[in-house]
Amino acid sequence: MKYVMIFHANLNYAYLPERRYEFVIRNSYELIFDTMREHFPEDKYTFEASGYTIEQMALKTPDVLAKLKAAIESGQCEFMGSPYAHPMLPNFPEEDGRWSIKFSNDIYEKHLGMVSDSFWNPECGWRSYVPQQILDNGYKNLLGEFEAYSRSLDQDGNPLRPEIYDLEKIEDSKFYKFDFQYDLPGDESAIHLPFKNLEGYEDSDLRILMRTDRIAMFGVMYMMGGEGNTLENYVKLLKKFSAQKPGEPEGAVLLFADDAEYVGTNAWYNLKYCNDPEAIFEKMDDAEEKLVGLVREVKKLGRMVSFGQACREIPALEDKIAFDDNCAWHGGKASNWADTPMAQLLRPWQDLVRETFHAKKASLPEAVVEKFWFHLTNSYNSDGQWPPTTKKSPHIIYPFNYQYCFENLLTADTLLGGVDKASLATDPVQTMKDIFTMQQDLVLQKAASLADGGTDGEQKSAALAQELIARARNYGSVDRTLKILFPAEYATRAGLLMEARQLVGGVVVAGDKD
């Protein structure tokens, strides 16, 4: 069996402010490059990064970018592309996504001197036109997700994998849903061999190889030191899913296809899996040891290859493959990213800006047109509108990430001479209430408990926390007639909430189920 590791690098990451970029680059990306070069110089791996991420590396850590370029040129590292600012491609028009992918390709040519054949589709979000966007930008190999495929229907409305669909179909998903009811056999061909017959694209040269959360998520938990997620158990899991049917050609297993930031830092682990927003993007001192230990054990099982090699050197299945429109990875829906309060605030403005552009584009200079598309599509950055605020997980959107979306959208708006924002039906105050109120209530509940039975110091902190929340809930300074939410208004209130949360010793942001 062959084995593939994909490290997905994204500096447009939720809760990651620009001031922490160099920390993440050096403690995660550089660690990966150095570890693989020093310990496993003959072994292949795949490193994916958005155009934005590569550009930030060039600005902040050119020495680390040089290491990536050297790894690519040596043939050890396969580089994998993705859209410039990590947008959810299914949530916006086809034309828009093409531009975002083009902007990444321009950056790859500039800083790496090449464009890859392999593509990482953010969150594996799907719409029927996504493959065409990818093909039109020169890509031939696409990462897919087994769980999305096995819960999808073909064009006639029949489940592609009825035995799995009947147990694992998801009617409504507000967030992620890791729920595996089907005992997947270890010799499952769909996670070993690439597909070539994508519904609607059978005549193309596109190859799709799929990750599965059944394996990849163990990799994240292993790097994070999750209970029971030992190297021994990881290897047992890989051995199970390395079985192959008699007569089947040697396949490949995607043993890690997730955020590179989980190698070297704890990234979003505490927020995503523990509902604890306080301890994120901290250094993991044992990361190199764990990566070395994993690769050494995997090499005992088989050969490490790149994603592109697995897609092109392994004979492809003849089976039909399809994905439901609006599906995404981790049991989510692409529309989940479009349904958050912040996304609902931004989308009408984005649509109005796009509509105005199409009315004026004939009179715009070519350079302005391209600049317009750059900033508009950057405003689609998924993590600037994520995570959703639900009763189960009443998260807030991080101010820096929202600011990135807002400022890019305002630039696109300004390039057109301004649009009539007063015509929008959005309400910035209601958006802030939708995002902040549930978590503010959790802080107030804890503050009340401390005020009742805490120490003198805890009571004093609780009183200040209550005062900060009260101040944050005063929206008198917000001009609701403007219909847009200025980042400073949002950041001020988010900052008061985060300070109040720390004053009471933190809260676990998990409540009743939806």
**0.75 cut: is pTM over it?**
yes
CB 336 within 8 A of CB 212: no
pLDDT recorded at residue 75: 98
CB 134 within 8 A of CB 101: yes
pLDDT recorded at residue 300: 98
Of the listed ranges 122-136, 163-177, 345-359, the one predicted with least confidence: 163-177
Distance CA 200, CA 204 (A): 9
Question: What would the CATH number be for the domain defined by 2-321?
Answer: 3.20.110.20
Helix ranges (DSSP H) in 19-79: 21-24, 30-39, 51-60, 62-74
Q: Please, what is the average pLDDT of the chain? A: 96
For range 81-92, the mean pLDDT: 98
For range 326-336, the mean pLDDT: 93
The candidate with the shortest Cα–Cα distance to 499, out of 454, 455, 457, 461, is 461
For range 302-317, the mean pLDDT: 98
pLDDT recorded at residue 94: 97
pLDDT in tens, 219-236: 999 999 989 999 999 999
pLDDT recorded at residue 158: 96
Give the model's confidence band at 280: pLDDT under 50 very low, under 70 low, under 90 confident, else very high.
Answer: very high
Locate CATH 3.20.110.20 in the chain: 2-321
What SS3 state is found at 215?
helix
* Higher pLDDT, residue 509 or 104: 104
- DSSP per-residue letters across 286-312: THHHHHHHHHHHHHHHSEE--HHHHHH
pLDDT recorded at residue 513: 46
The candidate with the shortest Cα–Cα distance to 14, out of 365, 259, 264, 327, is 259
pLDDT recorded at residue 514: 44
CB 23 within 8 A of CB 281: yes
pLDDT recorded at residue 511: 63
For range 6-20, the mean pLDDT: 97
∠ CA 51-25-307, rounded to 5° = 60
What SS3 state is found at 236?
helix
Measured in degrees and rounded to the nearest 5, phi and psi for residue 137 equal -100, 15
pLDDT recorded at residue 512: 55
pLDDT in tens, 437-450: 999 999 999 999 99
For range 8-27, the mean pLDDT: 97
For range 404-414, the mean pLDDT: 98
Measured over the CA atoms of residue 219, residue 220, residue 222 and residue 227, the dihedral's sign is: negative
For range 124-146, the mean pLDDT: 97
pLDDT in tens, 349-378: 999 999 999 999 999 999 999 999 999 999
